[in-house]
Structure 1
């Protein structure tokens, strides 16, 4: 057993922070402000939507710090839900993570990479259909997104060092590049545009192509805010990926919580400043109706001339490539932990010679590639955002449960602002998910259905495990001590 591969703790605080920031910054910040502006119709509400999302993200990250310090093991949110609730709740998260949350996010970011590659190389356009299969058409953009996902998966099977290096390098590059866009944009501020954008800054209304400004009813206004937040929530998601690689982080009880705070704070500030730059350069109608929602490209064109769109397209390609690397790297650790609980394919619970869960990475790759073929960017956003926030709420409520169930447990870090901030997040999340149900049912209902479909799968996996006489794969040796002391980890829990 001593010769069996095991996770190697080689990720330092900077690397962990870059996993947080790099997994968050993908394509969204360059695109989704167009949809937010169409829904809200004003500069004040554009920034407020990003501010609300940033507040929710920071609150969630600070709350997760307590959980990550209590359970610094591979699996992250899956482990937290199992400890706070029960194995079935954790499995439903893991099932949703595999079928929707992580894999569809990988697909959405891959599609965005292809979309901006097509800006430079039109042959990769979504309009360039390569295969007509009757029930589905496969475009060059879809094929490119699949190839990128396969490439990054392969690179991450080679070991954590390569994935870590790619992540840190690409994240630092895009942070510096975004800072450059902000600086150049603010230097090139157009006072007339800025002043016009802040006229009636808090008039919440849809911004239509014909220039009309119909008013919302009160309920419809709340729905518009929720619809607008879909893009900002997606753009701010995946910050918790660092917790999935806890078994490979040096001093995880300190560095996971600290990297969560630093990464989310950096990205929140960058996002707000980027949107201020948009407002300083482009009139609101130009933001709302930018060609194919490429707001950043329009800003770069206005600031840097003809070279601007090329520069920004390259930046977004770097951004989405690095983002997908972080998401792919982290996600497979969840399936690894599930497999060791006997709730996923047995092979996914094994590490290769490079001490990474290679089989779990390839399972994730296959599903992500299928998502690339199934839906458009916006459709994937709607489905992901609802399911993600629902599980964030459950996990944060788990802090309240664990404070009661285990009052004497070691807590190297305690959730900032407890109980007010975690409770506020839950209330805001309930409002967001409820409004999406009403105003964007087309993909929120399927997201919920996919999640609940995991219930019969859980019982089938459980019955199979009983027939086998226990877990289908060996447990993670790193968590032996925890299993001896935690009643929730016993076989009958």
Structure 2
């Protein structure tokens, strides 16, 4: 993925679009195959009286953190707004269409898992899709679904190799200490930012398990989302004069709902996984310290100018 992204231009674009379409086709094929079968699940889709209690339980809240990963790319289009020709038109469309499509596919996939597989078989298991695949396609189903997952990860990684370096480039443009990360090649590719992300991702995956990496970044991701939405409300109050080309539908109700649910998840996450949450908080504090240091240096440089 790093090599493709370094190539830049039409190659990276065609690669991303092609594999994304292939991923969608494979997911839809799995959904159709699962729903077309007789079903072997033991879960009723009808609501029950015990559902409200489960929704407000600690286990359900912590599980929402993993559900958030299915939607974690919904806001990523905002990171590459500088690469969009008409962001005022294309950005809202990308957010709504992308989030709506992912939501529909996620719900249908979850329904297939529950429809085809007994809960006892998937309880406490990470590879739910592989287990469900054996019920849908027989003994070879695990390998088929494993292939589907591998192919599906290709466009996901490709998107992150585009979006992640864009954030790093913005940091390099704002923070003088990281200026090297903002440099681009003659073709406009941020080589240093891409290589940095590849090195960091490789070190994380080689030194710890994938699940451990997810647990490590959960608190930080949720905190950043919480603070970002809180910042929208703060700016509405303190800077009502700022131009706002994009509207927040349902404001202030929708931001307040998001903040309430996210805070609920953060509290339960800190209680159930204190070490991982503390590590994520420390990492954020290190970033804030770096930002404060560079901002202080920038102010000193300005005062030196006659």
TM-score by length of 2: 0.90
Alignment of structure 1 residues 298-377 onto 2, 5 Å:
298-377=131-210
Instruction: Specify every segment of 5 or more residues in structure 1 that has no aligned partner in the other structure, as ranges.
Output: 1-151, 206-217, 471-493
- Once the two structures are TM-superposed, the CA of residue 184 in structure 1 deviates from its matched residue by 0.7
Question: Which residue of structure 1 aligns with residue 73 of structure 2?
Answer: 238
Alignment of structure 1 residues 71-470 onto 2, 5 Å:
152-190=1-39, 193-194=40-41, 196-198=42-44, 222-288=57-123, 290=125, 293-465=126-298
Question: Which residue of structure 2 aligns with residue 30 of structure 1?
Answer: none
Root-mean-square deviation over aligned CA pairs: 2.6
Deviations 1:433-459 (A, max 9, x none): 011011111211100011112233223
Instruction: Specify every segment of 5 or more residues in structure 2 that has no aligned partner in the other structure, as ranges.
Output: none
Residues 454, 162 of structure 1: alpha-carbon distance in 2 compared, 3 angstrom cutoff: same
Residues 379, 202 of structure 1: alpha-carbon distance in 2 compared, 3 angstrom cutoff: farther
Cα separation, 1, equivalents of 2:55 and 2:250: 32
- Once the two structures are TM-superposed, the CA of residue 254 in structure 1 deviates from its matched residue by 1.4
TM-score by length of 1: 0.57
- Indicate the structure whose relative CO is greater, using CA pairs within 8 Å and at least 6 residues apart: 1
Residues 287, 328 of structure 1: alpha-carbon distance in 2 compared, 3 angstrom cutoff: same
Cα separation, 2, equivalents of 1:185 and 1:423: 38
3-state DSSP of counterpart to 2:57: helix
Q: How many pairs were matched up? A: 303
Cα separation, 2, equivalents of 1:403 and 1:369: 40
Cα separation, 2, equivalents of 1:344 and 1:363: 15
- Once the two structures are TM-superposed, the CA of residue 461 in structure 1 deviates from its matched residue by 2.4
Contact 1:174–1:319 (CA under 8 A) maintained in structure 2? yes
Bigger Cα displacement from structure 2, 301-310 vs 446-455: 301-310
Deviations 1:29-81 (A, max 9, x none): xxxxxxxxxxxxxxxxxxxxxxxxxxxxxxxxxxxxxxxxxxxxxxxxxxxxx
- Once the two structures are TM-superposed, the CA of residue 181 in structure 1 deviates from its matched residue by 0.6
Contact 1:249–1:255 (CA under 8 A) maintained in structure 2? yes
